Structure 1
Amino acid sequence: MTKRTAAKHKLDRRMGENIWGRPKSPVNRREYGPGQHGQRRKQKLSDFGIQLRAKQKLKGYYGDLTEKQFRRIYAEAVRVNGDTGENLIGLLERRLDAVVYRSKFVPTVFAARQFVNHGHVTVNGKKVNIPSYRVKEGDVIEVKEKSRQMALVIEALASAERDFAEYINVDASKMKAEFVRTPGLSDVPYPVMMEPNLVVEYYAKN
């Protein structure tokens, strides 16, 4: 199981946003934070607080990423030519668990990590059970034949809750997806506004 599974609703409430766009998010009912002090008036955040919040939101969105993993991805985004914030988004979206989630093979990013871990996915015909595996443009991701009758998969594909991402070509009938291109921030269908530029500022100062 992922480390954050039991606390994902708490993350929504702490941020005051429905980060994954789920109908069952508690933010849909109450926007204040969790705990006995959740309804207190919110203090104005400092620049550091705003940057930290942007980092926590983006890292939390991708599920079970540790700070060490996220910082490593950021460091790689810095090394690549171009805008660091855009590079960061592209690297996060190239994770296999993110692609499985975007392809609607599973209902949540948390389920995607577990789905990959349990060996239900192939990349270019070969089983890959590493959620952080980085796909390349042109890679074909497929649900293994023996896993296609899982209720989790069938329900996720039938759900109208999310649309398919434009940078992934999905053949729902064959449960197969091709990663067409690395997306930028404007391409990714986040339910809430993500601000990778603030994440860059946070790491640049810390």
Structure 2
Amino acid sequence: MTKRQESKYKINRRLGENLWGRAKSPVNKREYPPGQHGQKRKKPTDYGTQLMAKQRLKGYYGNITEKQFRRAYAEANRRRGDTSENLIGLLERRLDAVVYRMKVVATVFAARQFISHGHISVNGRRVTVPSYQIKLGDVIEVRGKAKDYPFVQEAITSNERDVPDYITMDGTMKATFSRVPLLADVPYPVKMEPNMVVEYYSR
């Protein structure tokens, strides 16, 4: 288990935002960083603003390491078009992000574990790599007995969030990745600034 999984809400406190829009987030009660100096915020520098934007976007996707995130930026920068939009597209094509968007699990952390335990198939084949890149038209489905797990049923019936329109659901356990989203299409609970992330890595 990674440190991020053990303390997933600490990043909320550190950034002062409810990253996943969950009712359980401690930020709902204390909108300031932890520690004795948490309430004494200084005006951030340009670098600090860019760093916070990077930490916010990276933190939202759960267990992405700095190495993985930097690799995603490098790939986004290599491709034609807007680097910031390319970065969002690459992050949303991660299998753990798609499973989270399907609402078959409650959190992106649960999505990673769900995939690692072999409960997800892509185009009929079991995939256990959370960072697996989904392609347009790929069909993602919950496998076998996992469909009846109580936490899966609870996530499906939750009204905490909706399935975005770039994922086409076929029932509640099967979906098709229909298009690569732009920033405006992604239902982030907080404002994301991938342009700041690009500036951070371009320094």
Is TM (by shorter chain) over 0.5? Answer: yes
Unaligned runs of 5+ in 2: none
Question: 2: distance between equivalents of 1:49 and 1:89?
Answer: 21
SS at 1:177 equivalent: strand
8 Å CA contact retained: 1:77, 1:85: yes
Question: 1: distance between equivalents of 2:72 and 2:129?
Answer: 16
1:177 corresponds to 2:175 = yes
Question: 2: distance between equivalents of 1:200 and 1:55?
Answer: 9
Q: Which of 176, 183, 191 is the aligned partner of 1:193? A: 191
Q: Deviations over 1:119-154 (max 9, x none)?
A: 000000000000000000100000002211111111
Shift of 1:2: 4.1
SS at 2:41 equivalent: coil
SS at 1:23 equivalent: coil
8 Å CA contact retained: 1:2, 1:110: no
Matching of residues 84-163 of structure 1 within 5 Å: 84-163=83-162
Shift of 1:9: 1.3
**Letter of the structure 1 residue corresponding to residue 176 of structure 2:** E
Question: 2: distance between equivalents of 1:49 and 1:140?
Answer: 40
Question: 1: distance between equivalents of 2:116 and 2:184?
Answer: 29
**Letter of the structure 1 residue corresponding to residue 75 of structure 2:** E
**Letter of the structure 2 residue corresponding to residue 96 of structure 1:** L
Shift of 1:3: 3.2
| TM-score of the superposed pair, with normalisation by structure 1 | 0.96
SS at 1:4 equivalent: helix
Question: 2: distance between equivalents of 1:30 and 1:44?
Answer: 19
Structure 2 equivalent of residue 7 of structure 1: 7
Q: Deviations over 1:76-126 (max 9, x none)?
A: 000110000000000000000000000001000000000000100000000
Shift of 1:30: 1.1
**Letter of the structure 2 residue corresponding to residue 13 of structure 1:** R
**Letter of the structure 1 residue corresponding to residue 189 of structure 2:** P
Shift of 1:23: 0.5
Question: 1: distance between equivalents of 2:188 and 2:131?
Answer: 19
Instruction: Among all aligned residue pairs of Structure 1 and Structure 2, give the percentage whose two residues are the same amino acid.
Output: 66
Post-superposition, which runs of at least 4 consecutive aligned residues in structure 1 deviate over 6 A? none
Structure 2 equivalent of residue 47 of structure 1: 46
**Letter of the structure 1 residue corresponding to residue 73 of structure 2:** Y
Unaligned runs of 5+ in 1: none
Structure 2 equivalent of residue 59 of structure 1: 58
8 Å CA contact retained: 1:106, 1:153: yes
Q: Name the count of aligned residue pairs.
A: 203
